[in-house]
Amino acid sequence: MTSHTSASLIHAPIKPLIGSRVLNGKDALLAGDLAADLRNLLAERGVLVFPQLHFTDAEQIAFTKTLGVFAPEVSDGEGITKITLDAKENPAGAEFLKGSLYWHIDGTRNESPILASLLSCKVTAPWGGNTGFCNTYAAYEALSEPDQLRYEEMRVTHAPWASLLYYDPEPSLQKLQAMLAIGEKELPLVWKHRSGRKSLILGCTALQVVGVSIAQSAQILVGLREWATAERFSYSHEWHVGDLVIWDNTGTMHRAEAYDPACSRMMHRTKLKGEEPFE
């Protein structure tokens, strides 16, 4: 594996089309001098892995703030969000997190979705529990030109309640109504970014292509999901305690891979505020 240096940033590619490992230590990262290079690398590679970094919560928050505007969760203020299926640790979100086992991007109902998430590993799962990522920039760019032009004209209704049916196909009416209350949003299938690049907007919240039959819509969305999550566009991160991973929420999809829901797997998350609207 060949390392590349940009200024004092030390990094190495994980796969040709997605992912880089960043090998700088805590002090260099917290100083903030590498922030611009890190953001450029994140946009280029989609996912950055910082192995065995062992940030404290305070250090993770401070590092997040060097990269952009810290986007706290509503219930956590300026703190860390605990990502776990343990209802004792995460009473408000454990049920909702079941949808994270399926490919998605965060914030499809928002005007500007979060720019990126930073996830650090505190407790690993006894089996499984990797986090999968796929590069939706690279997936779009690898499409044929006729397909690119075709998909650029399409719009898709995104609805959080659609993701409910992935993990609870026969929900109670009360649960369905609670998810319906979150709302829906119509988005372009192809996001035309300010940078000039384009990416696909897909995932388990994608309900239906506007103006297309349910059957044809399902074939389009499932086909594109299968395309975008193919091996060449994807990376599955096997967690070790102390790892930190950042992913570009505007140009990737992600999912938690299956693990024992009764285990104590624990991740700590921070987010960067969105900087670009979907349209």
Confidence of residue 99 (pLDDT cuts 50, 70, 90): confident
For the stretch 55-64, pLDDT in tens is 999 999 999 9
Q: Which residue type, as a one-letter code, is found at position 234?
A: S
CA distance 32 to 22: 14
Bridge partners (DSSP) of residue 158 are 185, 206
Q: The pTM is what?
A: 0.93
Q: Where are the domains of the chain?
A: 4-272
Domain 4-272 homologous superfamily, CATH:
Clavaminate synthase-like (3.60.130.10)
Q: Which residue type, as a one-letter code, is found at position 84?
A: T
Bridge partners (DSSP) of residue 248 are 116
For the stretch 133-191, pLDDT in tens is 999 999 999 999 999 999 999 999 999 999 999 999 999 999 999 999 999 999 999 99
- Dump the DSSP string for 206-272: EEEETTS-HHHHHHHHHHHHHHHTSGGGEEEEPP-TT-EEEEETTTEEEEEPPB-TTS--EEEEEEE
